[in-house]
Amino acid sequence: MRLLFYNIRYGVGTGLRLPVSPWDYLHAHPDHLEEIQRFIASWAPDVVGLVEVDGGSLRARGLHQAQVIADSLGHSMGFECKYPQGSLSRRLPVLNRQGNALLCGASDATHHQHFLTHGSKRLVLELRTSGVHVFLVHLALGHATRQRQLAQLSELLHSAEGPVVVAGDFNTLRGREELHAFMLAHELRDADEDAQPSFPSWRPRHHLDFILYGPGLALDGFHLPDVPYSDHLPMIADLSRIA
């Protein structure tokens, strides 16, 4: 299974090289989305995890970015707004279309969603395919909130019946160190064995993005392409079942 994870920053590119700028909420380039789409297709992934996806707001000119990419790959798609029901963000234009997505080319793929109880970004997407559970996350910026989210995520992993993969933007400014207890509890390994930084893409300094895999899976290859389509670098892991 080739899994590609990418924080695509709503298709607005690297922006003004600030964490957030007003321009990011006003304009995305269709041509830029096509570049991301072509890049993803060039790796022929079996599973694609995307965070910071525009689900069809005015910024994206009504284009559902995840659906466009899924259609180009011939994949099924699970998408959801990353903010919980009843939150202010769910009622605001543009924000209410900001979400995450899991795409899969397998015919047996099933999509599920969970919401954590802490933080503004609470969504956890789950994909089940070939007996493997793939969880996609985009965790909170605050350290204490992240730790509470990880505790709840741990409960989801305990309920999985089969090998697990956890991919996403963990926002861990201290890198793998912050995930030590979580990884130990589930015997997870980091596909990025050398802990290469993935953010910001133009001069990577922080290890924010991870593909973690558990017992029952083996790592056959890992790639961190140096491409300029977002403020994060994408990650690709080739994983196989251990008999």
Contacts of 40 (CB under 8 A, 6+ apart): 4, 6, 48, 69, 73
Q: Both tokens of residue 208?
A: 């924010």
| Average pLDDT value for residue range 113-127 | 94
Say if residue 146 is exposed, middle or buried (CB neighbours under 10 Å; 0-12, 13-18, 19+): buried
Report pLDDT for 85.
85
148-186 pLDDT tens trace: 999 999 999 999 999 999 999 999 988 899 999 999 999
Half-sphere exposure for 13 (CA within 13 Å, toward CB): 14
- 100, 138 in Cβ contact below 8 A? yes
| Structural domains of the chain sorted by starting position, each given as residue range(s) with its CATH number in brackets | 2-241 (3.60.10.10)
Report pLDDT for 38.
95
| Average pLDDT value for residue range 185-213 | 96
210-243 pLDDT tens trace: 999 999 999 999 999 999 899 999 999 999 999 7
Is 17 a residue whose pLDDT tops 70? no
- 80, 123 in Cβ contact below 8 A? yes
Rounded-to-integer distance, Cα 32 and Cα 13, Å: 7
- 218, 233 in Cβ contact below 8 A? no
State the DSSP code for 10: G
35-71 pLDDT tens trace: 999 999 999 999 999 999 999 887 888 889 999 999 9
Contacts of 110 (CB under 8 A, 6+ apart): 127, 128, 129
Predicted TM-score of the model (pTM) = 0.93
